[in-house]
Each structure stands twice: as C-alpha cells, then as structure tokens.
Amino acid sequence: MKKNILKLDYDSFHGATSIQNKVITKNNFTYKTTLNIIDKFLHSKKNILDIGSGAGTLCLYYASKGYRVVGIDVSEKAIDSANKNAKRLGIKNAKFFKMNFPKETPEERYDFIIFTEVIEHLEDDDLALHKIFSLLKTKGIVVISTPSKNAPLHRLGLAAEFDKNVGHLRRYTLEELTSKCKKQGFKVLETKKTEGIIRNFLYLNPLAEKAIKFIKYFLVDFILYIDWLSMKLFGESNIFVVIQKP
C-alpha cells in the first residue's frame, strides 16, 4: 500500500517539474550545501551514480564538469524530464534510467554515489544500504542526506503533513543513520548537521517556497548565515553522512 502511494506522489510531483534551461551554479540556494559536501569528497572520482536523481539537476551539474553520471529514479516522469533537460542543455555524459531501487539496480560499479533525500522514502532502508555497498567500487564513497528527527518543526508537529505529502516514511538521528551504515560494512568519513528552522520553513510551507526562486546572488550567503545561526539555537533540520566502502 505504501509503495503505491509513494509512486503516485513522485509522479504527481515530477509532473509539475519546471524546464531546466541552464545548469545550476555552485551558489544555488537549494543545492549549495549539498554541492559543498559532495565536492569535498569527489576529488578525481569520475564515475557517479545518483540514486533518486529526480529531474537530473545534480547529474547535469556534475556532467557539465566532465564527470560521467548515471541517474536513476522510480518516477517515469522524472526520468523523462531529466532526459529532456540533458538534450536541451546539450549534455551527453549524463544518462537517466527508470529503476525501482533497491529492487532494481544498475549492473555497473561506481566510484561515487549520491544518495540525497531518498533513504527516508524507502520501505527497506537496510536493503538499500546493502545494495549501495555492492554498487560501489573499493574505496568508493557515498554522500547521504535525510531529514532529521531533531528538526524543530518536526518536534513541534508542524512537518507531519509535509512528510506525508512527499512520501517520507521516517526520519533519522545521526546516531541511527551512522549505526545502520556501519552494520552494512561502511566506514563513516564525516557527519554533518545542516539546515536551520528558517530554511526548513521555506521548503515546508507552500507559500514561503515560492520565494526561494528569488534568493540569488548575495542573498544566498546572507540567508544561509542567518539560517546557520538558527540551527545553532534550535537544532538541525537535516543531516549528512559521508561513508566509504573499505
């Protein structure tokens, strides 16, 4: 039952995905933190898999930097959008495939896997981590991000409707997620708490979310700094875990 609802939510969401006319910049408000963490560990690794790639935003960014990228997603509409965006932007080293991960996985092995904002959607998170371990080459790295159990709006009960609408099945603490990763044989390289109540509110509230597209240039760093201060006061809304296959 959950699986059918989740797929319906994904296709409905991606059905409204806007056309991507250009590759995002490093200063993009939505992705800046994610890009900074990925770039810290990506180095010379050239073979990237993005699990839950959506409309391909991250894939197209890294493909534009010369990496060979494969994106997979359960939503057919998301994959269709990603392929159209790649064609529109003239990017040929990013390929997209519809796959129901973790039941379906690519046959290739990868140097680097992006697994951001996905694990909380999957019924069997342990199986997902097990499959990721098998998809990695030795010394391969995974960047995981997911909503935090400690998020202020979640603790106040104000994120429940959002979680339901986007198909979140659970949230994690850093301790819970790192423990799961270690049980699958991963080495934890870094953990990071991110996103304060301000940024989280912008994404959870439909009206506030409309303002995100206007956050550009100097406003990005200004709002992210204010948000960082709010995180120090009230706690994180998101967490990152970087792991490696020994």
What pLDDT, on a 0 to 100 scale, did the predictor assign at position 72?
A: 98
What pLDDT, on a 0 to 100 scale, did the predictor assign at position 230?
A: 97
Contacts of 106 (CB under 8 A, 6+ apart): 49, 70, 72, 97, 99, 135
What pLDDT, on a 0 to 100 scale, did the predictor assign at position 5?
A: 40
What pLDDT, on a 0 to 100 scale, did the predictor assign at position 46?
A: 86
Residue 14 and residue 21: Cα distance in Å, rounded? 16
Assess if CATH 1.10.3720.10 describes domain 2-244: no
What pLDDT, on a 0 to 100 scale, did the predictor assign at position 156?
A: 97
Q: What is the mean pLDDT of each run of 10 residues along the chain (246 residues)?
A: 42 64 96 98 91 97 97 96 96 97 97 98 98 97 98 97 95 98 98 98 90 93 97 98 98
Straight-line distance from the first to the last Cα atom of the chain, in angstroms, rounded to the nearest whole number: 37
Strand partners, 42: none
Quick: pLDDT tens for 100-154.
999 999 999 999 999 999 999 999 999 999 999 999 999 999 999 999 999 999 9
Domain boundaries, the chain: 2-244
CA pseudo-torsion sign 27, 29, 143, 77: negative
Residue pair 68/90 in contact (Cβ under 8 Å)? The answer is no
Contacts of 13 (CB under 8 A, 6+ apart): 75, 166
| Residue 159: exposure state from Cβ atoms within 10 A (0-12, 13-18, ≥19) | buried
What pLDDT, on a 0 to 100 scale, did the predictor assign at position 7?
A: 47
DSSP line for 155-183: HTT-SHHHHHHHT----B-HHHHHHHHHH
pTM confidence score: 0.93
